[in-house]
Chain A
Amino acid sequence: MEPEHQERSEINRYETSGIEERHGIVPAWLIGVIVILAVWMVYYLIRFWTPS
């Protein structure tokens, strides 16, 4: 297993509660959404800072 994949699949276990979690990933589609929203945010702030 590649080290990067291994890190993603690594599981943390919280003993008393029995909860487990993967270190996990951020899906590419969600990164895309974040980038698009960030670009839109900059545009909207500049465009609508004052009434045109």
Chain B
Amino acid sequence: MSSVAERFADDLVDRKVVLQFLLSGAFWLVFAPTIGVILSIKFNYFDFLGGISWLTWGRLRPVHIMGVIFGGFTTSIFGLTYYMVPRLCGVRMYKESWSRIIFWLWNIGFTAGLVSLPLGQNLGIEAGEFPTWANILVEIVLAMITVQVVMTVLRRKEKLIYVTLWYLTAAYIWTTFNYAFGHFLLPFHFAGVNNAAMHGLYIHYVVGLWITPAGLAVIYYFLPLAARQPLYSHKLSLIGFWSLAFFYPFVGTHHYIYSPIPYWTQTIAIVASMMLIIPVWTVIQNFFGTFVGNWKRFQESFTAKFLVVGAFYYLIGCFQGSTEALREVQRLTHFTDFVIAHSHLTVFGTFILWVTAGLYYVIPRLSGHELYSRKLAVWHYWLTVGGFSLMASTLVLQGLLQGTMLQAGTDFVDSMVAMKPYWFTRTIAGVTMDIGAVLGMWNLYRTAVGGPLLAASPEGSPAGNAEPQWS
């Protein structure tokens, strides 16, 4: 380890574990979207890979979903947690020796669970599909990290609790319970409509009580560092946190508007979805308020670039999600690709991109290397932005078109035929994004294993002041 990497480790961060998690997260960030591309090809060529049972649509789609949420996103979040929490608390992680066990438990449990899906072992709960034996391993990991995070926060030396810690602590506690609910109760103890209603809660707790708060923890940590300015407003960040915590638990049923689930629960879900505009706009105000006056960082830093573009998609995707819950909008968009646009805008466009920003920030600093190739990072950024903007706009357009056709009484098969050019465009967009991801993650891997060494920070400057040139 170079002297610079030692300074960034601050004697607080287990450098090896963080890098292991981040690099395995980077692998899943390429693998899971690639499965998505294969799935999108099946829309254009229905027989593509259809002769092999474990490569059929029904078996591969869960690999894509679980791979993105729990592979790419969650594995990276674990690594970033082990970086952010000790540095915000001023103490090493509680029971740090657990972290290396967790790394192997997680990767073995997750990989085995993922492999079991194409083999046909599936609980049948969307975003909760691993077989029970894999879920036990995942649940143990979640419980162990939750204990580590909570205890580290309790033992902190910093007087104040930064908003990242609010979000992370809550996300881990919520998810430890929610994962158990979704995998050990939901598939076995609820039947019929009740199962659907509870599934609406489970899947939105995955999105709203795991992906969202963990992703917001990341942006709030790296935003002031990337902008090199103080966070705009602590007060605003906490309004965002508490409004998310209050409203998100009620939104799940908005997937089941016009269903046999009681009308008043649908109404509560609609209202809660609209009220989520509050936490979203607090984040956006904080984001742009922090960057104002130092936009040149957007040109200089890939962390800043990915944070900014993620914030842009966050605003669009979340506003779309809130209004999509309204009955009139739902009537037009339900069962169309408009919904798929929303999930991609939020999960990929926002949270995966923010996590990517975190990778660009942490990997050079902890490895003590400059970014291996600025050119590869530029390609990663523009292929991602170009490909994803094309995908998102195509999905929105085709969703609205599908909805309009179905409302006008067009035959369902005819509405599908009309989608062909859009599906092809979506595949092109997916391939573009995937090439970008391969280049980006290869760049980060090469950075971790040996790019040009970072220059040492000036004598006497605080630890962590040596800045990689482009991240």
Q: How many A-B residue pairs have CB under 8 A?
A: 102
**Which residues from A are CB-within-8-Å of B231?**
19-22, 24
> Does A4 have its Cβ within 8 Å of any Cβ on chain B?
no
User: A16: which of B88, B234, B274 is its contact (CB, 8 Å)?
Assistant: B88
Q: Tell me the smallest distance from the CB of A22 to a CB of chain B, in Å.
A: 5
How many residues of A are in contact with the other chain, CB < 8 A?
28
Distance of A33 Cα from B240 Cα, bound (Å): 13
Interface segment among B125-133, B278-286, B388-396: the answer is B278-286
Give the nearest-CB partner of A47 in chain B. Answer: B267
Q: Are B236 and A17 in contact (CB under 8 A)?
A: no
> Does B142 have its Cβ within 8 Å of any Cβ on chain A?
no
Q: Are B285 and A22 in contact (CB under 8 A)?
A: no
Give the nearest-CB partner of B276 in chain A. Answer: A37
Mark contacts of A3-14 with chain B using CB atoms, 8 A cut-off: 1 yes-contact digit, 0 otherwise: 000000001101
Q: Tell me the smallest distance from the CB of B358 to a CB of chain A, in Å.
A: 13
Distance of A18 Cα from B233 Cα, bound (Å): 16
Q: Are B230 and A22 in contact (CB under 8 A)?
A: yes
Interface of B is mostly: helix
Q: Are A14 and B158 in contact (CB under 8 A)?
A: yes
> Does B462 have its Cβ within 8 Å of any Cβ on chain A?
yes
How many residues of B are in contact with the other chain, CB < 8 A?
43
Q: Are B263 and A19 in contact (CB under 8 A)?
A: no
In chain B, residues 214-250, which have Cβ atoms closer than 8 Å to a Cβ of chain A? 221, 224-225, 229-237, 239
**Which residues from A are CB-within-8-Å of B89?**
16
Interface of A toward B, CB cutoff 8 Å: 11-12, 14-27, 30, 33-34, 37, 40-41, 44-45, 48-51
Give 23 pairs: A residue, B residue, CB < 8 Å, sorted on A: A11-B230, A16-B10, A16-B86, A16-B87, A16-B89, A16-B463, A17-B225, A18-B464, A19-B162, A20-B224, A21-B163, A24-B231, A24-B232, A24-B235, A25-B233, A26-B233, A30-B282, A30-B285, A33-B281, A41-B271, A44-B270, A48-B270, A49-B264
Given contacts A24-B232, A24-B234, A44-B270, 19 further A-B contacts (CB under 8 A): A15-B90, A16-B10, A16-B87, A16-B90, A17-B225, A18-B462, A19-B224, A21-B224, A21-B237, A23-B233, A24-B233, A24-B235, A25-B235, A30-B236, A33-B278, A34-B278, A41-B271, A49-B263, A50-B263
